[in-house]
């Protein structure tokens, strides 16, 4: 819970605060155990190397991988770029076709668009009105020249969880590599790269109460062994796949955040679901509020709604003193265009603009949720009254 004079924070899909237990684990590696993990000829380097090794083990075990399959990056954006561009460069002789989804994060869509300028063909699968892909459409989209399918685990705006195991099975049957952006999913839902037949997986720390600026890419080393071309050359760190001095404090924090997330997963997700249902019960008393995304196959802490008969900008301004949240992806917050995720669901532009993404987190309380719900209802009611529109009309 934040200080009373600050807004209630409900933007946990954008980022989360660093858990105090995570910060405590990180602190010694800034000033006491500050060695370079690549300097393996003295104590300082050994300390850092050991800490990085333990974090690598923790993260690998979280997704049922081996430590050698974890490549540390600066975050999920770099991991996505490394996976998509790295596969494209390594496998282009086998084909230049990649499949992804219209609702992916820009960190996937933009690298794909870049590859189009190099002669690659990209298929952008549509989604159904609930945000889930049609598995038969995926199956039909795979061609002999398809080298990669990239489908995110949990959507950053609407929280929808894709059927990873079924997608992985289709890809494995067709001999196509499967990449998943799991930035929003790690330590929130069970992930198993073996069971789900995932070949590459992008992760980050700051969505799960770890530090910003660190992430990882899982790269399968067996059945099949995946090859990717490095995008950063230099000192040869991370098996020559991602050069650069490892940021030991951040990596330690990443490992601790994942450890805590796994320990708390069951109870925390149950708690978040209770808060989400409470918030939805408060909002749903107003007419003209529509839920975005699948009602149940989604992250427990996600609630995304579109609100009829209000101006989106006025709504956000009206809520600002009380609650900190966003209308969509934080990475696209400066854009004046409606969310590409909501338009992919079939939402009209005006309705997509008048949408709110609530990201409920570990440190929110029921009292905060009640305050937010009542505030949102009050602001919407006031905005509609200001426009002198009847409250029981469901037309825009």
Please name the residue that has the structure tokens 């029921």: 366
Classified as helix, coil or strand, 247 is coil
pTM: 0.94
Residues in contact with 213: Cβ distance below 8 Å, sequence separation at least 6, in sequence order: 74, 75, 206, 247, 250
d(CA 125, CA 138): 7
| 112 belongs to the catalytic site | no
Structural domains present in the chain: 8-16+265-386 (3.90.1150.10), 20-259 (3.40.640.10)
Tens of each residue's pLDDT in the chain, 396 residues: 445 689 999 999 999 999 999 999 999 999 999 999 999 999 999 999 999 999 999 999 999 999 999 999 999 999 999 999 999 999 999 999 999 999 999 999 999 999 999 999 999 999 999 999 999 999 999 999 999 999 999 999 999 999 999 999 999 999 999 999 999 999 999 999 999 999 999 999 999 999 999 999 999 999 999 999 999 999 899 999 999 999 999 999 999 999 999 999 999 999 999 999 999 999 999 999 999 999 999 999 999 999 999 988 899 999 999 999 988 655 544 556 889 999 999 999 989 989 999 999 999 999 999 999 999 999 999 999 987 655 554 443
d(CA 341, CA 133): 13
Bridge partner residues of 242 (DSSP): 232
Q: Which of 308, 297, 293, 395 is nearest to 350 (CA)?
A: 308
Query: Angle, to 10 degrees, between the axis of helix 76-91 and the axis of helix 106-116?
Result: 30
Residues in contact with 48: Cβ distance below 8 Å, sequence separation at least 6, in sequence order: 29, 33, 34, 35, 36, 37, 39, 246, 248
């Amino acid at each position: 819970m934040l200080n009373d004079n600050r807004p209630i924070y409900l933007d946990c899909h954008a980022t989360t605060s660093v858990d105090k237990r995570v910060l405590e684990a990180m602190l010694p590696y800034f000033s006491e155990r500050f060695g370079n993990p690549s300097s393996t000829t003295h104590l300082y380097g050994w300390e850092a190397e050991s800490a990085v090794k333990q974090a690598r083990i923790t993260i690998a075990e979280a997704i049922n991988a081996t430590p050698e399959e974890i490549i540390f990056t600066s975050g999920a954006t770099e991991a996505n770029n490394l996976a998509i561009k790295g596969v494209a460069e390594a496998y282009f002789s086998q084909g230049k076709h990649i499949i992804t989804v219209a609702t992916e994060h820009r960190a996937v869509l933009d690298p794909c668009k870049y590859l189009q300028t190099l002669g690659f063909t990209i298929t952008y699968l549509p989604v159904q009105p609930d945000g889930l892909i049609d598995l038969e459409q995926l199956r039909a989209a795979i061609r002999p020249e398809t080298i990669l399918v990239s489908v995110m685990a949990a959507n950053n705006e609407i929280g929808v969880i894709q059927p990873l195991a079924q997608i992985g099975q289709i890809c494995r049957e067709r001999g196509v590599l499967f990449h998943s952006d799991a930035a929003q999913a790690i330590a929130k839902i069970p992930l198993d790269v073996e069971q789900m037949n995932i070949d590459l997986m992008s992760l980050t720390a700051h969505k799960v109460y770890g530090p910003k600026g660190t992430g990882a890419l899982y790269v399968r080393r067996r059945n099949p062994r995946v090859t990717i071309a490095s995008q950063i050359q230099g000192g040869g760190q991370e098996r020559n796949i991602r050069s650069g001095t490892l940021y030991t404090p951040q990596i330690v924090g990443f490992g601790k955040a994942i450890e805590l997330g796994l320990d708390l997963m069951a109870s925390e997700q149950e708690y978040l679901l209770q808060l989400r249902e409470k918030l939805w019960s408060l909002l749903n008393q107003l007419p003209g509020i529509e839920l975005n995304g699948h009602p149940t196959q989604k992250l427990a802490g996600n609630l995304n709604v579109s609100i009829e008969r209000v101006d989106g900008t006025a709504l956000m301004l009206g809520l600002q003193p009380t609650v900190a949240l966003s209308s969509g992806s934080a990475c696209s917050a400066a854009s004046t265009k409606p969310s590409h995720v909501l338009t992919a669901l079939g939402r009209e532009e005006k309705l997509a603009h008048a949408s709110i993404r609530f990201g409920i987190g570990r440190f929110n309380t029921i009292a905060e949720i009640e305050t937010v719900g009542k505030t949102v209802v009050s602001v919407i009611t006031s905005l509609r009254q200001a426009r002198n529109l009847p409250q029981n009309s469901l037309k825009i």
